[in-house]
Amino acid sequence: MSAKYDTIGLNYAELRKPDPRVANAITGALGSARNVLNVGAGTGSYEPTDRSVIAVEPSREMIGRRKPGAAEVIQAGAEDLPFDDKSFDAAMAILTIHHWPNKEAGLREMRRVTRGPIVLLTFDPAHRPWLTDYLPELAALDEAQMPRMSDYEKWLGAVQVTPVPVPHDCSDGFLYAYWRRPAAYLDPFIRSGSSSFWAIGNVDAGLARLRADLDSGAWARRYADLLEKDEYDAGYRLVVTG
């Protein structure tokens, strides 16, 4: 099975360590569910350890990087889940939906196999974090690959959408996690933990502008209000079905 993360997941486990504050939001949304399906599970980030979990992941690379003792994992895609109807109390999909070839089909499959809540951590493509000022290609990519917030209700029925603020010291290196650590984006190793940088290609010109603004102090002046914040609404959203 060909899967994108067979190529880009090489540094994922090291750079994408679950942040406990984000984890609390996900766990709270799962409620009292005792058996949970994790779709697009990757290396197992944010899988709860206090209940039964079955993971689904298409990438052999990501499956191979799951820790010993992680939940049972099945190699499959979201669009064709190998489970009976209403097999799970709840299901989750964390920062993965934008990679699915058929997002609507994948979410409808999650609804089919789940009798309780579906919990999604995703990104609102209408949001514009400051990094897009330097790399507008990221905004174009978000618009191209991220479902709109209105799509979730269309595909799943009634949902509750809640912002998930990003802590200034977030341990999970997803794309906009380094909002108060802008120099991190100059490090190619840090960038390797985000699929978006693999997708947009050459970022030299935008990063050169960022480096110049950091060196001159222009970035600190322009975004001075961010330096006083402990958390930031970068556009990440928790979408939970009823």
Nearest to 121 by CA among 101, 141, 147: 147
Alpha-carbon separation of residue 119 from 3, 37, 178, 209, 239 (angstroms): 23, 10, 24, 38, 6
Nearest to 15 by CA among 125, 111, 99, 95: 95
pLDDT, residue 64, reads 87
Nearest to 135 by CA among 174, 91, 176: 176
- Domain ranges for the chain, please list them: 5-241
Contacts of 5 (CB under 8 A, 6+ apart): 12, 42, 58, 59, 61, 62, 99, 195
CA distance 47 to 81: 18
**61 pLDDT more than 90:** no
Of the chain, the end-to-end C-alpha distance in Å amounts to 34
5-241 homologous superfamily: Vaccinia Virus protein VP39 (3.40.50.150)
Length of the chain in terms of residues written: 242
Q: How confident is the model at residue 1 (pLDDT cuts 50, 70, 90)?
A: very low
pLDDT, residue 211, reads 98
pLDDT tens digit sequence for 118-136: 999 999 999 999 999 999 9
Q: How confident is the model at residue 8 (pLDDT cuts 50, 70, 90)?
A: low
CA distance 189 to 183: 12
DSSP string, 23-59: HHHHHHHHTT-SEEEEET-TT-TT--SSSEEEEE---
pLDDT, residue 132, reads 98
Nearest to 2 by CA among 56, 42, 61, 54: 61
Q: What percent of the chain has pLDDT over 90?
A: 85
Q: What are the start-end ranges of the E strands in the chain?
A: 35-39, 52-56, 72-74, 90-94, 118-123, 159-163, 166-167, 231-232, 236-241
Mean of all residue pLDDT scores within the chain: 93
pLDDT, residue 7, reads 52
Kindly report the CA angle at 20 between 158 and 237, in degrees rounded to 5? Answer: 30
pTM, two decimal places: 0.92
**163 pLDDT more than 90:** yes
pLDDT, residue 238, reads 98
Q: Which two tokens stand for residue 143?
A: 């618009």
Nearest to 85 by CA among 107, 113, 118: 113
pLDDT tens digit sequence for 196-217: 998 898 999 999 999 999 999 9
* Phi–psi pair at 135, nearest 5 degrees: -130, 75
